[in-house]
Amino acid sequence: MPTSGLNPESGATHTTFPKHARLDGSKSFANWTRQLCLCLADDIRSYVLDDIVPDNWTALQRSARDAVARNIIANSIKSATVLAVFDKIPTAELTAPKIYATLKSHYAPDDATCTLELFSQLWGF
């Protein structure tokens, strides 16, 4: 289970992301997202996954929390191929929500793939 301790004043964090849950491609995306949710505090989770910035965050708090989230995401990836996806994001847009959205667009299975996998599992029984 991941452990996380966030200092809201500094944005400092200590998070251990389980090795078995690190992102290495599309087959691990769903499990990686679940583990990512466990590592992120509630307000940071909605910021990263849904790009929702709480009204009470100052610019400094947003910057600090974005840095925390980017660090957690970067440390949760075990594949150089996945890390290469970061290179496709312009530096000025390199925020945690943008990184997550880009990874999701590359690695989240689409509905058709999920449906085919479900049929395959059902027919296999």
User: Token pair for residue 47?
Assistant: 């910021």
- pLDDT band of residue 48 (cuts 50, 70, 90) is very high
Output the average pLDDT for the chain.
Answer: 81
What is each CA distance from 70 to 3, 110, 115, 117, in whole angstroms?
16, 25, 32, 31
pTM of the predicted model over 0.85: no
Q: What is residue 103's predicted lDDT score, i.e. its pLDDT? A: 93
Residue 109, pLDDT > 50, answer yes
> Which segment of 5-9, 54-58, 93-97, 110-114 scores lowest on mean pLDDT?
5-9
Q: What is the DSSP string of 98-122?
A: HHHHHHHHHHSPPHHHHHHHHHHHH
- pLDDT band of residue 53 (cuts 50, 70, 90) is very high
pLDDT in tens, 7-35: 444 344 446 778 888 998 888 898 999 99
User: Token pair for residue 91?
Assistant: 């530096």
Q: Where are the domains of the chain?
A: 3-124
β-partners of residue 16 are 3
Q: How far is CA 119 from the centre of its chain?
A: 28
Q: What is residue 11's predicted lDDT score, i.e. its pLDDT? A: 42
